Amino acid sequence: MADIKTLQKAIDENRVDTRKLAPEQLQALDQAFKSGELTGYDSAKDYERLISLGALSVGKDKEKRLEPLKSSTGITRGDLVLAGSAAGSFVPYYKDLPKLLDALSKSRV
């Protein structure tokens, strides 16, 4: 078990991940904040909020790196699939355009 000085240093450096602590450890951390043994935060919940915000920020950064096109342009993979499917469905008509125009002109005469 860490002493108060080591724990205070870890808290100051934001190295204590409250998501990995047991309920008893969270309760002890909360009591230490409220009694003044540990400083910097009002309670364990206050410190936990900081850790959650940090995790959320890291998650958003990773998401941006995984989807660079979406984050910079707003275009998703689904949009590209739809555009490809629509364009692909017109290729046969485009290739047969002379035949189609010929048939159209013959039907109007």
Below-50 pLDDT ranges, the chain: 1
Side chain identity at residue 12, one-letter code: D
Domain ranges of the chain: 1-66, 74-109
Check residue 2 and give its pLDDT: 65
Cα Rg, the chain, nearest whole Å: 31
pTM of the model: 0.48
